[in-house]
Structure 1
Amino acid sequence: MQHIIDRFLKYVKIDTQSDPNSKTTPSTEKQWLFAEELVEELQEIGLEDVSIDDNAYVMATLPSNIDEEVPVIGFISHFDTSPDFTGTDVNPQIIENYDGKDIVLNALDDIVLSPDYFEDLLQYKGQTLITTDGTTLLGADDKAGITEIVTAMEYLIDNPEIKHGKIRIGFTPDEEIGRGAHHFDVDTFGAEWAYTMDGSQIGELEYENFNAAKAKVGITGKSVHPGYAKNKMVNAISIATEFLEILPPEETPQHTEGRQGFFHVDHLKGEIEHAEFEMIIRDHDAAQFEERKQLLRDITSKLNRIHGDCIVLELEDQYYNMRQRIEPVMHIVGIAKKAMEAVGVAPIIKPIRGGTDGSQLSYMGLPCPNIFAGGHHFHGKYEYVPVESMQKAVEVIVKICELVAANR
């Protein structure tokens, strides 16, 4: 277990935040540092065909150790961390034999990770937790996944008595800004199917996710002295407020769960002469997804009729529900489920309230269910990961490789 801890701590201390405003791939230069270190490590542990391309996508091969032909499978994780919260100078804390009580992350700023608020903590009583120091995110999303994949490959190399076919692994930049699979070379990867190690709590196994789009609304106003503004002023801030008030108030992230979709405004700024806001649109159901986008178009048309063509709406699809591409090959989900059960992990099969590289890759011809990486409360200062969950993820990866070879 110490080996997993050491590897994970090494990874998370390297800042790899992505940048949604960048047009390059990777979106930040600092992701290159991590990618290049990964290449060296993969070579050192004995993997073959280790490569890094012009966009920092890293791939490697564990050759088959059996004579029979079996499907080539893969495991994929991303190495960028979220731009939602700082990932600079990550200083992890290790909590051994967690006692089920409050964990003081930062005494100076009174930042506490408490089971009174985060009830999931209680299921890890007695285990070893890795937390933040309250000033950064941790980066378990998805450096826990990378830790698990690399450790599993190393274990298979060191234990050749475990029979397996050819295994491909891949590590991607920019997943957190929705571009992790944009330049992934599925043909070069050469797997029949793969698994992303990018889920949360132990046991998660997911093969459906949101359909996703983003919207940007720009509003042009006209500033006039407020004392003489009647029938002259066009207040862009007021129109932005009017637009948002038409959206169903209960269909936001804080009011939805399971397969329920939502609208989520994540950026808003404005003055009288110009206002703009950005939002994401999410829904598991394809028809309802289209209805949500149409609602934004309808609101835009309605307010433009009232206020005089002052609103511009930009809509862009981001990714789609991978369920459509996984259902024809559901045996790959069955293998993961069987692997979990074999190592003592109870599978939790549920829809992802988000997306992974696997959703895009599935539409690119590489079906990719998602498996737990073990972390909780990603993208913020309360993020943590139980080491025992990472260990179980390693065991699941190894068992999947073993089961695919056994079913030849």
Structure 2
Amino acid sequence: MNMLDVLKIREDFPILKRKINGKPLVYFDNAATSQTPLAVIDAIVDYYSNYNSNIHRGVHTLSQEATDAYEMARKKVQEHFNAKHSYEIILTSGTTHSINIVATGFTNLLSKGDEIIVSALEHHSNIVPWQMLCERAGAVLKVIPMNLEGELVMDVYEQLLSDKTKLVFVNHISNALGTINPIEKIIHKAHKVGAAVLIDGAQSCPHIKPDLQALDVDFYVASAHKLCGPTGVGLLYGKEEWLNKLPPYQGGGEMIDQVTFEKTTYAGLPHKFEAGTPNICGGIAFGVALDYMNAIGFDTIAAYEKELLEYGTEKLLEIEGLKIYGTSKNKTSVISFNIGDIHPYDIGSIVDKLGVAVRTGHHCAQPIMDFYKIPGTVRASFSFYNTKEEIDILVEAVKKAKMMLS
């Protein structure tokens, strides 16, 4: 028996009352960004209405209130992800920013001929920064291949590892296919050859509550806007010893200890990586979003989203000619599909006219689409505030699109 009261939860999300082209909004683009509950919207309004001020600098009351709220949010992030210390949590502008801090920081830690491993399932933000790093450092990029089900070929991964491997980067869950990668094994095997591991958790955090200490991962990155939080804020977790090895990413206020024209010394963690005025309100709202999701419970969310995935998969496969990409047994609530030779963009445009929001294209994962020899897919991604009735609306909309485009 599922304990999730979806209709009650939907009341928390004002946007779900919207009409699109005269039809009730069916929002199935959750893998791109989740919607924002009232608790988070209220926290943003409260900040700007009552204690908007710069942090860590002022002795006045507003500054102290804002600083306390911001640092409390960092503590919430630490507790949610079970990092050992709150100063191992760097608040960034999002996953891409977090990855770039690490990729830039490793420039002077690599030698010519060192090897970096990424996977074939990566988002562009977990490919391009490493290619740029390889160009700067003279390192070599290796790729863990994927199979037709959309899973990583782990035997080949083990063959790629050697004492030349310095870094391994994989996503926890594929944004394009929903595949959940075996990150425990990936981390363990990388550590055996002395390599550091960064896990891109952007897609996993809405569905899974990762325990960073249990994973023994070196770096973990995620974005608040996938977790019912605002855009423009995210986290970089790094083990203390790694964060101490990396140089600052940006210079400016807040990240310094002493500044003279001869020499500058840098602040300790986490401030060393937080130059300038941060997204204060975003950080505070991120903490509120985590509170909101934890109150519902990640086990409850996972069980309900599994029901939606199974129901959606079954109903969509009843449409003749529809093919699903990403059929791993271990996947989350994402369905990527095409119908025959119909371009995914055309299907997306028609279902939008019927009020259904899906994502179309290569989902910033072009190598996956090249592997399947397709231009892209239609991606429907479900969240805990979606319903089976909405899936029925999607199915009818896709049938209509197929009829119009065939």
For the aligned pair, the TM-score class normalised by the smaller chain equals: under 0.3
Q: Which structure carries more helix by proportion? A: 2
- Give the greater-gyration-radius structure (CA): 1
Q: Which structure carries more strand by proportion? A: 1
